[in-house]
Amino acid sequence: MRDDPFDFAGLLCARLCHDLLGPVGALGNGLELLALDQDPAMRRQTLELMTSSSAAVAAKLKFFRLAFGTGGDMAQRLPITGVQTVINDFYALRPNIRLGWVVNGVDLPHPMARLLAVFAMLAGDALLRGGDLDIAVDHTGPASEIVVRAAGERIAFDAEHRLAMEGGSVPYFDTRTVPAQLAARLADRFGMTLQISPPESAKLLLGATAQS
């Protein structure tokens, strides 16, 4: 695993910028159109585009703040309903992915909430043609458990992702695989145990358990 914190931080920033570029660019294009086009119908359509792009930026920033943000320990809790809202709003931008939730408990340790967002990102990235993204959360006893399952026509979760999540040596990291590395680092730092479905499985399952 790449241990250079500067490289790791740079990859996370690159991933964030890549995902924000589209809606931010749409806002810029909308401002240019408003300045040039005086047709009322076109201006109305442009304002609708800018409104949706602004909402997309806000949803992505909230999601990345949860997944990539620092701070918090296993004693600090986040309301599960708040975490649900952040993930739901993020995936509302991808209508070809259907979210399902099974929740037991009212809150999650902060690191597990972060890891849940990272799992959701990894599983969503793996659904190249869309599909079902089912999320289960259980925080009712002495241990906390999260599971994310991706099922779809085509799932892409290659050996580099698996090696990164297992803390193995991956020759090359990029913005595609850096969330898997982040998952491994979170688990290592906060004593969480990761589970990954086997390569031959038709569905992708990502899970984690930790003592509360």
pLDDT at 35: 76
Interval 165-177: pLDDT, tens:
887 666 666 778 8
pLDDT at 1: 44
pLDDT at 6: 65
Report the alpha-carbon distance of residue 70 to residue 8 in Å, rounded.
Answer: 14
State yes or no: pLDDT of 95 exceeds 90: yes
Show the domains of the chain with their CATH numbers: 5-67 (1.10.287.130), 73-211 (3.30.565.10)
CB atoms within 10 A of CB 25: 11
Mean pLDDT of the chain, nearest integer: 87
Highest mean pLDDT among 34-43, 65-74, 84-93, 165-174: 84-93
As a whole number, mean pLDDT of residues 29-39 equals 77
**pLDDT greater at residue 133 or residue 25:** 133
As a whole number, mean pLDDT of residues 83-93 equals 96
With vertex at residue 91, the alpha carbon angle to CA 187 and CA 64, rounded to the nearest 5 degrees, is 45
Token pair 């209508």 is found at: 95
As a whole number, mean pLDDT of residues 139-148 equals 88
Token pair 């986040």 is found at: 78
Interval 181-205: pLDDT, tens:
899 999 999 999 999 999 989 999 9
pLDDT at 212: 67
Structure token digits, residue 47: 């304002």
